[in-house]
């Protein structure tokens, strides 16, 4: 009996650990800080925020400005313009006035905000910045294009979203940007240069969006530039960004045919399959322990 109990506990522990791994995988994508709104004029007040930091830690905010999107990663940040403290959960937010807290020229460009702390977790070191597109006289800076995506399901469906992705028309593959979320969902892909894009969505069960305006294309999902994704058909909305414009895309899922491999490639199901296989492997280990324990009890009884 002791072996059986240990086997069951092992299986339960596996499920809990793998669920936590999946949750961390979902929350780790993209920048760890957010800014709202993401664009506006010099008079705009924004909220700069984040979560998952060390609780009760001092957070210092600095800023920079660049007219060119290509210079964002080499921008020079100045002195601290604001300070806040994370709460007991590691969350923080601070209100900033774009034009008053940073000397910004009256020209379209990008105001960059960076959050730093002496207790900054290592996984946030490359994801602690957010950019604000400065609009002057109605003109947005080049490279500030946005695709705002909403996704919902038909009333009779109850699905978790598998992913929302996009790629520039002519590029090798789609970029896996958004992981598992519940629907309806609202996501914005930001800092996009002018060009033509294709946006797609798909549920974990293989349901594709239905409705007008969708095109059938062949493509692959890539998680890194040197990865050859599994090419298959997608249903996409095709949009164009000009002069840093913001475009809206809406997906509604209905009952449509599934695609190869259940309508989900290896990248989308990678975490779910690893979770499943991990549980199976640990369950097998638990079963083996149970068998060994039973055999041992029988041997002791015969002895």
Q: Percent of the chain having pLDDT more than 70?
A: 70
Of 102 and 283, the one with more pLDDT: 102
212 and 174 in a single domain? The answer is: yes
Of 144 and 286, the one with more pLDDT: 144
pLDDT score of 26: 27
Rounded Cα gap, residues 266 and 302, in angstroms: 51
- What Cα–Cα distance (Å) separates residue 68 from each residue in 41, 177, 202, 297? 17, 24, 34, 74
286 and 255 in a single domain? The answer is: no
The answer as to whether 155 is a domain residue is yes
Question: In this predicted model, what pLDDT tens digit does every residue of 39-97 receive, in sequence order?
Answer: 999 999 999 999 888 899 999 999 999 998 888 888 889 899 999 999 999 999 999 99
Question: In this predicted model, what pLDDT tens digit does every residue of 198-237 receive, in sequence order?
Answer: 999 988 777 788 888 999 999 888 876 566 667 889 999 9
The answer as to whether 55 is a domain residue is yes
Q: What is the pTM of this model?
A: 0.65
pLDDT score of 225: 59
Give strand pairing partners of 84.
59
Among candidates 143, 204, 201, which has minimal Cα distance to 174? Answer: 201
78 and 120 in a single domain? The answer is: yes
152 and 63 in a single domain? The answer is: no
161 and 247 in a single domain? The answer is: yes
120 and 191 in a single domain? The answer is: no
The answer as to whether 27 is a domain residue is no
Q: Which residues contact 104 (CB under 8 A, 6 or more apart)?
A: 42, 65, 98, 111, 134
Pairing of strands 92-97, 160-168: unpaired
Rounded Cα gap, residues 190 and 144, in angstroms: 7
Torsion of CA 181, 190, 155, 258, to 10 degrees: -70
Q: Mean per-residue pLDDT for 144-166?
A: 84
Rounded Cα gap, residues 111 and 45, in angstroms: 13
Torsion of CA 14, 15, 20, 24, to 10 degrees: 90
7 and 57 in a single domain? The answer is: no
How many folded domains does the chain comprise? 3
């Amino acid at each position: 009996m002791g072996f059986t109990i240990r086997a069951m506990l092992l299986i339960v522990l596996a499920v809990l650990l793998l669920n936590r791994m999946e949750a961390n995988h979902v929350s780790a994508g993209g920048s760890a800080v957010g800014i709202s709104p993401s664009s506006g004029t010099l008079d705009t007040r924004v909220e700069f925020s984040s979560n998952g930091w060390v609780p009760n830690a001092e957070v210092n905010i600095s800023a920079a400005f660049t007219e060119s999107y290509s210079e964002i990663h080499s921008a020079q940040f100045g002195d601290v313009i604001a300070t806040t403290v994370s709460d007991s959960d590691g969350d923080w937010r601070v209100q900033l006035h774009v034009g008053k807290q940073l000397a910004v020229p009256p020209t379209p460009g990008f105001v960059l905000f960076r959050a730093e702390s002496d207790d900054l977790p290592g996984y946030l070191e490359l994801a602690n910045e957010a950019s604000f597109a400065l609009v002057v006289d109605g003109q947005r800076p080049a490279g500030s294009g946005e695709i705002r995506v909403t996704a919902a399901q038909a009333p009779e469906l109850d699905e978790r979203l598998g992913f929302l992705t996009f790629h520039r028309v002519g590029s090798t593959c789609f970029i896996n940007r958004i992981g598992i979320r519940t629907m309806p969902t609202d996501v914005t892909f930001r800092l996009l240069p002018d060009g033509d894009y294709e946006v797609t969505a798909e549920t974990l069960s293989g349901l594709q969006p239905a409705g007008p305006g969708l095109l059938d294309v062949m493509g692959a999902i890539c998680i890194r530039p040197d990865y050859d994704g599994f090419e298959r058909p997608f249903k996409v909305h095709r949009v164009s960004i000009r002069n840093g414009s913001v475009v809206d895309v809406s997906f509604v899922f209905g009952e449509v045919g599934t695609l190869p491999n259940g309508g989900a490639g290896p990248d989308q199901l990678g975490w779910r399959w690893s979770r499943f296989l991990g549980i199976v492997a640990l369950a097998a280990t638990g079963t083996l322990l149970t068998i060994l324990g039973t055999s041992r009890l029988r041997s002791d009884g015969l002895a």
